[in-house]
Structure 1
Amino acid sequence: MYVTLRDRPGSDTAGRTVGRRVSSTVLLLGTVSLLTDVSSEMVASVLPLYLTAVVGLSPVAYGFLDGIYQGVSALVRIAGGYAGDRGGRPKWVAVAGYGASALSRIAMLPAQGFAAITAVITTDRLGKGLRTAPRDALIAASSDPATLGRAFGVHRALDTFGAALGPLVAFALLAAVPGSYDSVFGVSFAFALVGVAVLVLFVPNLPTAVGAARLGVRRMVTEVTGARLRRPLIAAGLLGLVTVGDGFLYLTLQDRDDFAALYFPLLFVGTNVAYLLLAVPMGRLADRVGRARVMVAGHGALLACYLLAAAPGGGLGLTVSVLLLLGVFYAATDGVLPALVAKLVPAGARGSGIAAAQTMVVLSRFVSSVTFGLLWSVTGSATAVLVFAGALAAGIPFAWWLLRRVDAEPAVEVPAAATPDSRTGGES
């Protein structure tokens, strides 16, 4: 039988699922992510324009920094997932990651020049890499396996609500005091600090893998995980190679339509609002029709987004369409991927499995950002987007071929004794 780390349906201990409701742990982690994303998106929404217009970076230099922003977290994602699995209580690994990202916000104030800004961005992304898999393992551990898509969708909806608020706060600050980037960095630190406090004080430190480690089944877990994740990892990496970073897409729109720099943060709002509205419906749809199907379809929306972004004509309608399609893409992929992976691996390797998939994505997106920056410098923004659109159009059918049987895979079976008994594995 499939063994989970929930209490029996109908109980409500340790923040676990009650019947088929989303657990309190998911809601608390969503609140932490909401506050953290207000903080991070305040910075992210001004960073592309700040780096290119204020600091004066070239497209190649910005592509390198965007690649770091996308990919450096890969250096510690697997370490974070493994540390959470090995210790069996991943909360404190997540705390370390959230804390590092919070400190990077205030470090932006004195940062001057390419090297200093690179160091700050690297610290932020390392923190993100460290926290993501342990956090997602906590979500999976407190949720019903049949509704993982919905659980991750609810978390991502709360996360994205913060991501939509962040650019609005940045816009308000810049509207009140034009060019006041220091105020953006300072206020973002305050939001991040509150998020860390909520995680430390209120989120239960649920057990995830202690039982598996104690009974010596980790080798079996590792072998099963590697075999079942091979095709999903290849597909995720392939699609990541042809995914253009948000900042580049927004700079492409700004380059075409030449709207005021003040309104640049609002582009992030448009995408995040669409993501917010669709995260839960997409998660529920993925639970019903298949997570692989929804993830591949999301990349179809990204393809349409590229084609509209590269169109020679501009205007408000076209810009809004690009932002909405980008939101559809994130709603169909960001929470769906860990939900897909969580089903394919045993509970004892859940954090490591999710981290492996996310690492593949961020590494491939690092390569994508650097490549796109070079291509932009040579051909211009619109042509670069069209080249990536062609590559994505070719990659989607191959990704579907790799993933076509994943939804039919049965959940991993682990002996009941290899998983901590829910009655003795309470919170600490």
Structure 2
Amino acid sequence: MKPAASEKRIMGFAPNVFFLGIVSFLTDISSEIIFTLVPLFLANVLGATTTVIGFVGGLSDSTEAIFKILSGYLSDKINRCKSLALFGYGFSALSKPFMLLANSWGIVTGVRFADRVGKGVRSSPRDALIANSVEVYERGRSFGLHKAMDSLGATLGLGIAAVVIYFTQSGSLTLKPETYTTLLWWGIIPAFLAVLVLAVFVKEKRRPQNTAQADMKPHFNFRTLLSGMDSRFKLFLLVMFLFTLGNSSDYFVILRAQDMGVSVLAISLMLVVFNLTYTLISLPAGLLSDRIGRRRVIAMGWLFYALVYLGFAVTQSQIGIWILFGCYGLYYGIVEGVAKAFVADMIPPDKRGTAYGLYQGVVGLTLLPASLIAGILWDTIGSAAPFYFGAALALLAVIGLLVFIKEPPKKKPAGAA
């Protein structure tokens, strides 16, 4: 399923890549305004414990993971990636206004559950749409652009949040209920605009199917999900599990900043720095992976992550927290898009939806135990403990990646620019 030779490019990118980037840009504006400060809302407004906050964050991500697996498998079987992505974005958009009713951590969990169901349904089909819209030699840059647009939306969303916080509570150390209500109203509109862009501008390039394939009814079976998958991909899933077990919900990074006495306004600005660096590095990292290989770039990103987590464990200054937030964004920019391109390199087009579901499913499902472990370590040992744990597992994951997984060959078609 190759992009048409006559297809008009937008800024040098396939139209689907560009418009799916716009969709993620708008969605992240919404999500960052509404959900990024949820751990502070839970802790400061609802009085939830750190273990409960870890549970809410981990459960949300694990819910998302289950639906990523199911939707990825289904998108391969019914050959309709756009329809599933549209349903997922729409479901998330409809769930967000219900945060206005949240007066207990149980309701917050329910809304986050619904939002994550939507994200789970859309993510694997969307990534398959991107992978199937471009050639192998431009996957890194295409996923890099998508992640850059995604994080640019997050940056703008957090910038809006910072302005709202400044005018409603300025330098207060805790989040006020009226501030969060204002943020919710600002965050709803971009979510619905994203659904409109997807519906109108993204065009699916469906795979040709033989008669036998067309007559097959989708029948989900966990035992057959990995059948026919490259052994490197299976090993990559194991290494991702190891890495993610120490990579708990980012809620803990936000709580660590507040634990150091950082105000809510300053935390929102730190998150702007985080997403800005994420935006700036995503496309260059994708381009670099097209040149030197995905595995090396991912290994560099994980090593950087280990150093950043060690920094969060040992820092005693607010200046150090500012620097670490920026460096944390560099890790995300280096790894996120490149890892998805790496998956596409190992998997044929007719299995990519399933592969992305499995990849993102392993990451998401592992985040629940990872976040519970982090919450327990925080409550029983101290706020630095989850970060030492995460750094150690990241180093082990780097060794596993470099020792056990080889780079898939990438052949550039003759005459390709």
- Of the structure 1 ranges 153-162 and 69-78, higher mean CA displacement relative to structure 2 is found in 69-78
Distance 1:69 1:209 in 2: 36
1:267 aligns with 2:270: yes
Q: Which residue of 2 aligns with 1:186?
A: 185
Structure 2 equivalent of residue 166 of structure 1: 157
1:11-410 superposed matches below 5 A: 11-12=6-7, 21-178=12-169, 179=176, 180-208=179-207, 210=209, 213-214=213-214, 223-225=227-229, 227-256=231-260, 258-316=261-319, 318-403=320-405, 405=406, 407-409=407-409
Separation in 2 of the partners of 1:399 and 1:226?
A: 15
Q: How far apart in 2 are the matches of 1:222 and 1:309? A: 37
Q: Which runs of 4+ in 1 moved over 4 A?
A: 218-222
Asked if the contact 1:224–1:345 (Cα under 8 Å) also holds between the matched residues in 2, the reply is: no
Q: 1:93 to 1:60 in 2, by over 3 A?
A: same
User: Offset of 1:250 from its aligned partner?
Assistant: 2.2
Contact 2:240–2:397 at 8 Å: present in 1 too? no
User: Do the aligned partners of 2:299 and 2:401 also contact (CA within 8 Å) in 1?
Assistant: yes
* 8 Å contact from structure 1 (residues 33, 195) kept in 2: yes
Q: Percent identity?
A: 31
Distance 1:7 1:323 in 2: 41
The residue matched to 2:149 in structure 1 has which SS? helix
Q: Is the 8 A contact 1:139 1:151 kept in 2?
A: yes
Once the 2 structures are TM-superposed, how far is the Cα of residue 45 of structure 1 from its aligned partner?
A: 2.4
1:243–1:365: 8 Å Cα contact kept in structure 2?
yes
Distance 2:95 2:81 in 1: 22
1:117-141 Cα distance to aligned partner (Å, 9 max, x none): 1110001111111100110111111
Distance in structure 2 (CA, Å) of the matches to 1:303 and 1:223: 33
Change in CA separation of 1:51 and 1:355 when aligned onto 2, cut-off 3 Å: same
Post-superposition shift, 1:215? 9.5
Indicate if the aligned counterparts of 2:158 and 2:269 stay in contact, CA closer than 8 A.
Answer: yes
Provide the C-alpha distance between the structure 2 equivalents of 1:283 and 1:324, rounded to a whole number of angstroms.
Answer: 19
- Larger deviation: 177-186 or 123-132? 177-186
Cα distance, 1:398 vs. partner? 2.2
1:279-301 Cα distance to aligned partner (Å, 9 max, x none): 00000111111111111211111
Residue 35 of structure 1 contacts residue 194 of structure 1 at CA under 8 Å; is this kept in 2? yes
Letter in 1 for 2:194: G
**Matched residue type, 2:79:** G
Is the Cα–Cα contact under 8 Å of residues 76 and 126 in structure 1 kept in the other structure? yes
Q: CA deviation at 1:209?
A: 6.3
Cα deviation, 1:24-61, whole Å, max 9, x if unaligned, reads 11010000000000001112321111111111110100
Structure 1 unmatched ranges of 5 or more:
412-428
Asked whether the 8 Å contact 1:80–1:134 carries over to 2, the reply is: yes
- CA RMSD, 1 decimal: 2.3
Deviates more, 1:138-147 or 1:319-328: 319-328
TM-score (norm 1): 0.87
Residues in 2 aligned to 1:312 and 1:148: alpha-carbon distance in whole angstroms: 37
User: C-alpha distance in 2, partners of 1:312/1:322?
Assistant: 9
Deviation at 1:226, TM superposition (A): 5.3
> What SS does the aligned partner of 1:354 have?
helix
CA distance 1:123–1:324, shift in 2 (3 Å): same
Counterpart of 1:416 in structure 2 is none
Establish whether residue 5 from structure 1 lines up as the match of residue 2 from structure 2: yes
Contact kept in structure 2, 1:160 and 1:273, CA below 8 Å? yes
Structure 1: how far apart are the matches of 2:310 and 2:226?
41
- Does the aligned pair in 2 maintain the 1:239–1:399 contact within 8 Å? no
Q: Contact 1:105–1:186 (CA<8 Å) still a contact in 2?
A: no
In structure 2, list runs of 5 or more residues that go unmatched.
170-175, 412-417
Work out whether residues 77 and 358 of structure 1, in 8 Å CA contact, stay in contact via their aligned partners in 2. Answer: yes
Spell out, residue by residue over 1:94-122, the C-alpha distance to the aligned partner (whole angstroms, 9 max, x if none): 01111111122101001221221111000
Partner SS state of residue 104, structure 1? helix
Matched residue pairs, number? 397
Q: Indicate conservation of the 8 Å contact 1:87/1:209, yes or no.
A: no
Question: Hey, what's the Cα distance between the residues in 1 that align with 2:362 and 2:193?
Answer: 31
Give 3-state SS (helix, strand or coil) of 2:36's partner: helix
Note closer, same or farther for the CA distance 1:229–1:362 as it changes in structure 2 (3 Å cut): same
Structure 1 contact 209–349 (Cα < 8 Å) conserved: no
Give me the TM-score of the superposition, normalised by structure 2: 0.90
Q: Does the 8 Å CA contact 2:225/2:354 hold for their aligned counterparts? A: no
Paired residue type of 2:7: D
Letter in 2 for 1:213: Q
Shift of the 229–50 alpha-carbon distance from structure 1 to 2, 3 Å rule, reads same
| Deviation by residue 1:205-260 (Cα, 9 ceiling, x = unmatched) | 221464593498x999963325442111111111111113222012112212x022
Question: 1:65, 1:118 within 8 Å by CA — same for their partners in 2?
Answer: yes
